[in-house]
Structure 1
Amino acid sequence: MHNQPKKLPDISIVTCSYQQGLFLDATMRSVLDQRHVNIEYIVIDGGSTDGSLDIIQRYASQLSYFVSEPDDGQTAALIKGFQHSTAEIQGWLCSDDLLLPGALKTVSIFFESNPDIDAVYGDSLWIDSAGHYLRPKKEINFNRFTFLFDHNYISQPSMFWRKKLYDKVNGLDASFNLAMDADLWERFSRHTKIAHIPQYLSCMRYYPEQKTRALRPKGIIEDRKIRQRSGYTLSKLHPILAPIAKIQRVLMKMLAGGYHAKPSAKQLSSLKTYFIHGEVS
């Protein structure tokens, strides 16, 4: 009698969007094109008027849930999406980012093989607004000190976790508008080892209108709020600890090969599928 292969855990992906019709089709296809894993795909649109709803409806038969209605912003939309999530593994993909082929299978295999770990992240590729490759984002293993006192270096679209962990920490905090991911990762780190898969799993766009770039000063205030939870004394020592944390991160990234990393030709070729303008420069 042959042993039956274990069923890989299902994955819920939430995408929230508002007026992002330029990118949304490519983002959704990068999720729906994933193979060999069961996906529960949830799309929350904030009532866009730029044709986004037409794009969502084009793929409606492949979605577990979608809605297009006014909401209170990105974090509120994500919270709404995860309220409809039932799969064992969760993650979110912003409406201007992409998953690389095979990413979700890699993640699902990792969780099936590591039942004691409840959160894991991979690496990313930076791409421009048209989907052209810019540079790699190959990161270090999770280090709480570096995370708190240098910056949140985890690639958000390459981060995945078990639903039971999300529920345990009471999910996303609606009071965060920019650092909602860093806030969630910090609370995750109190309850589980956060692992790192040294593989490129996603692409993150880099362009002037990007929310995190345009509103960076407000993001710094939210980052400070996360640090302050670690203790008043440590928070007051941030000016002293920040340079130490940065040196530590640079050395760790150097040892991990992060500054000389190069994605494979196959990975770069896969991006052509998602170029907005359909031509490779």
Structure 2
Amino acid sequence: MTNQEVRIMRVGMVVPTLGERPELLKECLNSLTGQAYSGLRLVVVSPPGALTAGEQAMSPRITVLPQSGSGIVDAVMTGWRYFGDRVDVMGWLGDDDRLPPGSITQALHALERQTGAAMAYGQVRYIDGAGRPFKTMRPGRVGSLLLRLGYNMVYQPGCLYRRTAVEAIGGLDDSFRLAFDVDFHRRLAAYGGLRYVASVLGEIRDHPDSLTVRRLSESQREAELALSRQMPDWLRRTRPVWRPATDVLHRAVAKAAGR
């Protein structure tokens, strides 16, 4: 498959932000505009007045939309609704995260190879507040299987989603405040399956101001709910029987993935 064939796919990326971390937002957007992918459309969604005039004029390639609601889910859905059917594939990136060069092209290649897949996910690199890498997670194809069994190893930064699949499952669920990505991925896995990319597609910034870090226990409770409620009744009822064995499998895979 040639790069020209991949470029036929139109990609819409949303960056939700409150405008409170301008330097990190700049890094995030630079990582997107530096993808060298001509089919990419970028939207920043923020509350009215959150960005300065200079920040709103960061690049002619970036559209800034005001957010009428609140929360990350509302911001992402605002951007996706703006794109509508003008894109084939969609995604979002937190304003403190980054995409490495070539991330979007690699994810699109994966979706082209498996036309029925609802989304592509890959490896992620953890970076500190200064942007220095300190750990890479490589979930492998088993990450998709573990997701179906109630364990989350499908990391959101770098993921791309087919628009038709997103529309079919109703998009993000705003009843979740933190684990909406876990719920979303679980529903996409049930709808059309996931395609794994064996390279780093996203960089997650691990710092004290991160929502997930500050509200870790709430995030974990929501993730457990999101993962368990999508299971078939028979699988949920028998979970106490097989859960100990899959806990061992999950720990082993997580340990191997982080080496």
- Answer yes or no: same fold by TM over 0.5: yes
* Higher mean C-alpha displacement, 224-233 vs 103-112: 224-233
**Residue 136 of structure 1, CA deviation:** 0.8
Q: Structure 2 length as normaliser, TM-score?
A: 0.86
**Residue 244 of structure 1, CA deviation:** 2.3
CA distance in 2, matches of 1:220, 1:201: 23
**Residue 166 of structure 1, CA deviation:** 0.3
**Residue 104 of structure 1, CA deviation:** 1.1
CA distance in 2, matches of 1:252, 1:236: 24
Q: Does residue 58 of the first structure (1) align with residue 57 of the second (2)?
A: yes
Q: Using a 3 Å threshold, how does the CA distance of structure 1 residues 238 and 214 change in structure 2: closer, same or farther?
A: farther
- Matched residue, 2:23: 22
- Matched residue, 1:34: 35
CA distance in 2, matches of 1:228, 1:7: 36
SS of 1:94's partner is coil
Percent sequence identity is 18
- Matched residue, 2:257: 258
CA distance in 1, matches of 2:246, 2:49: 41
Q: Using a 3 Å threshold, how does the CA distance of structure 1 residues 252 and 70 change in structure 2: closer, same or farther?
A: same
Q: Using a 3 Å threshold, how does the CA distance of structure 1 residues 146 and 67 change in structure 2: closer, same or farther?
A: same
- Contact 1:178-1:222 at 8 Å conserved across structures: yes
Letter in 2 for 1:46: P
Letter in 1 for 2:164: K
Letter in 1 for 2:166: Y
- Contact 1:24-1:96 at 8 Å conserved across structures: yes
Q: What whole-Å deviation, never above 9, does each CA across 1:159-194 have from its counterpart, x for those lacking one?
A: 111100000001111111111101111111111121
**Residue 7 of structure 1, CA deviation:** 5.2
Q: Structure 1 length as normaliser, TM-score?
A: 0.80
* Higher mean C-alpha displacement, 167-176 vs 52-61: 52-61
**Higher alpha-carbon Rg:** 1
* Higher mean C-alpha displacement, 23-32 vs 66-75: 66-75
SS of 2:191's partner is coil
SS of 2:204's partner is strand
Aligned length: 253
- Matched residue, 1:196: 196
> What is the correspondence of 1:161-240 to structure 2 with a 5 Å cutoff?
161-226=161-226, 227-231=228-232, 234-235=235-236
- Contact 2:143-2:152 at 8 Å conserved across structures: no
SS of 2:153's partner is coil
CA distance in 2, matches of 1:68, 1:138: 36
Structure 1, gaps ≥5 residues long: 261-281
**Residue 107 of structure 1, CA deviation:** 1.8
RMSD over aligned CA atoms reads 2.6
Structure 2, gaps ≥5 residues long: none
- Contact 2:186-2:230 at 8 Å conserved across structures: no
Letter in 2 for 1:38: G
Could you list the runs of 4 or more consecutive aligned residues of structure 1 that deviate by over 6 angstroms after TM superposition? Answer: none
